[in-house]
Structure formats: C-alpha cells, structure tokens
C-alpha cells in the first residue's frame, strides 16, 4: 500500500497550519487497525495520517467537553 506522500488534506481540515509546525509522534497499532485506517483514508481520499490526526482531534475535543472531573475518573 502506498504511503501518505502526495495526499491532500480533506477540505474540512482547518488545522493545516498547526500541522505545519507540529511535532511527530510514533505509535504502534495492531495490523487490523492499521488496515482499517488505510481503508478509511482511501474511501475519503485523504492520507492515513489525516485519519489519525482527525481521530485525535475529536478525542481531545470530547475530553475537553467532559471537563476535568470526568478526565480524572477515567485515569
């Protein structure tokens, strides 16, 4: 499967500037999750990296909306 090179961010992605100045992180995920990410990316015509960034953005937004008390309960 090709890598993320040359893929364009999704039109609704308004975080492109932040990513330009972003920091890299490396994670290891199970092969089935990796394949699912690649399939989502292909279906949406975006990169696998975009899918992961979008998921992280949504997760962090959800955590912030829940508030500090909910965050502490989950730790």
Taking the chain (75 residues) in runs of 10, the rounded mean pLDDT of each run is 53 60 91 98 97 95 81 58
What value does the mean pLDDT of the chain take?
Answer: 80
Q: Quote the pTM value.
A: 0.63
> Domain map of the chain by residue range?
46-75
pLDDT at position 4, please?
53
What's the CA gap between 28 and 17, in Å, rounded? 26
What pLDDT shows up at residue 1?
46
């Amino acid at each position: 499967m090709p890598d993320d090179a040359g893929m364009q961010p999704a039109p609704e992605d308004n975080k492109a500037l932040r990513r330009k100045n972003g920091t890299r992180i490396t994670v290891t995920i199970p092969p089935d999750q990796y394949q699912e990410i690649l399939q989502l990316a292909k279906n949406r015509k975006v990169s696998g990296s975009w899918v992961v960034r979008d998921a992280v953005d949504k997760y962090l937004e959800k955590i912030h909306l829940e508030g500090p008390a909910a965050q502490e309960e989950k730790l």
